[in-house]
Amino acid sequence: MARHIFLLALLGSVLTASAINSITADWLLKHEFENFKSKFQVSYPTPEEEAYRFQIFKSTIERVAQQNKEHNTNVFGITKFADLTESEFRSTYLSSLPKKIDGPVHQSKTTSIPTSFDWRDKNVVTPVKNQGTCGNCWAHSTVESVESAWAIAGNTLTEFSVQQVTSCDTTDYGCRGGWPSSGFEYVESAGGLATAASYPYTDGTHYYFASACKSFTVAGGEVTGWAYATPSCTSSTCSNQDETSLLTNLLTQPISIAVDASQWSSYTSGVFPTSSCSSSGTSLDHAVQVVGFSGYGTSSGYYIVRNSWGTDWGVDGYIYLPIGSNACGIADVATLVYV
């Protein structure tokens, strides 16, 4: 991480200096591009494609250096998405979320909020998964929350099948988007979930296409309903969301959330700046899971958010979002499940 910060600062100064430094900048960029390919095991089918991706990589370096400068932070860096255009990233790894469905709001009986809390410490959170190029973040978030609620209810922590929900839920849209709330309703109607081992994630699930639903055996995860963790908002302005309710309900179980993740491609570590994303309910394009928080009551408090882009992104697959500013719309459409 320190190396990336130094490199971005160095490249930023070189790229904005006189033309005499262009040879130095090009050498640094090519060296870092080789490191990028090696680290993420990237290869290209033709020299022309590699040359094209190198130009995008250069643009990414310039962009993240500018982002860190603008926000006075070091959270942005070189990730596995560095050779994608912003448009490619959004169309491949994010998804449109359909119209929100109505539902009740869960009223937590908890009034006291500790400084920090993390469900991972309770052994009720399964390992971070990788959705690949399928826009089924909603199915990952659905299954993650069922897994956690199932374990909190006293059952063995079990990895359930994301593929089942992606392929068999006919209300949502497979690799083209959906909501955890309707995902919960599918699981309830199906009588529960198969294990991930018996119904594994397939290579056939990518881009806009999910493999066909197949027969499965329910192993657990029976759902009895769902509710919003705080009153929802899908309008263009969602600046007054009740994060206190979100936090108190988070003490009950991990929560599925929808966020604006359009600028997450270059996140590497630290607390993501609120000003880098939108809190608008019309900007939500990704479903994830919040599993805890740290520093509540301080100016540096943040939520611990689990993503589904693998452990080689962010902080071992997680991102930290600030508490108190509805960062990236974290409290716009937050749902919990009953098992």
> Is residue 61 located within the same domain as residue 146?
no
Higher pLDDT, 169 or 11: 169
Task: Let me know whether 153 and 65 are in one domain.
Answer: no
Q: What is the pLDDT of residue 111?
A: 80
Does one domain contain both 120 and 203? yes
Which of 83, 107, 128 is a domain's end point? Answer: 83
State which of 52, 83, 114 marks the end of a domain.
83
The rounded radius of gyration (Å) of the Cα atoms in the chain is 21
What's the confidence (pLDDT) of residue 239? 80
CB 223 within 8 A of CB 339: yes
Are both 262 and 333 inside the same structural domain?
A: yes
- Does the residue 105 lie in any domain? yes
- CATH number, position 219: 3.90.70.10
Residue 94 maps to a domain: no
Confirm whether 233 is domain-assigned: yes
Pick the catalytic residue: 137, 175, 238, 277? 137
321 & 196 share domain: yes
Between 197 and 240, whose confidence is greater?
A: 197
Structural domain for 202, as ranges: 99-338
Looking at the structure, do residues 56 and 125 belong to the same domain, yes or no? no
Percentage of the chain modeled with pLDDT above 90: 78
Task: Encode pLDDT of 148-167 as tens digits.
Answer: 999 999 999 999 999 999 99
- Give the residue from 83, 114, 136 where a domain finishes: 83
Q: What is the per-residue pLDDT across 262-314, written as a single tens digit (0 to 9) for each?
A: 999 999 999 999 999 999 999 999 999 999 999 999 999 999 999 999 999 99
Does a structural domain hold residue 295? yes
Q: Which of 68, 136, 307, 326 is catalytic?
A: 307
Count of domains observed in the chain: 2
Q: Are residues 200 and 317 in the same domain?
A: yes
Judge if 119 and 77 occupy the same domain: no
- Residue 29, C-beta contacts closer than 8 angstroms, at least 6 positions apart: 11, 54, 57, 58, 61
Alpha-carbon span 306 to 128, nearest angstrom: 7
Helix (H) or strand (E) holding 164: helix 162-168
Assign residue 10 a region: left if phi > 0, alpha if psi is -120 to 50, beta otherwise?
alpha
The residue type of 258 is A
Q: Which residue has the higher pLDDT, 13 or 163?
A: 163
The pLDDT of residue 235 is: 84
Q: Are residues 187 and 277 in the same domain?
A: yes
Amino acid in position 159: E
The string of pLDDT tens digits covering residues 55-114 is 999 999 999 999 999 999 999 999 999 999 999 999 999 987 777 778 999 988 878 999
* Residue 303 DSSP symbol: E
Among 233, 286, 326, 328, the active-site one is: 286
Does the annotation mark 286 as catalytic? yes
Residue 326 annotated among the catalytic residues of the structure: no
Are residues 130 and 51 part of one domain? no
Average pLDDT of the chain to the nearest whole number = 91
Report how far apart, in Å, the C-alpha atoms of 190 and of each of 47, 174, 277, 315 are: 49, 16, 36, 34
* Dihedral pair phi/psi, residue 34, rounded to 5°: -65, -40
pLDDT of residue 12: 56
In order of 45, 58, 104, 236, the CA distances from 239 in angstroms are: 46, 36, 21, 9
Quick one: pLDDT band at residue 250, thresholds 50, 70, 90?
A: very high
What pLDDT does residue 20 have?
47
Statement to judge: residues 164 and 188 lie in one domain: yes
Verify that 264 and 166 share a domain, yes or no: yes
Interacting residues of 18 by C-beta distance below 8 A, sequence separation 6+: none
Residue 88 located in a structural domain: no
The answer to which of 16-20, 23-27, 226-230, 269-273 has the lowest mean pLDDT is: 16-20
155 is catalytic: no
Its pTM stands at 0.92
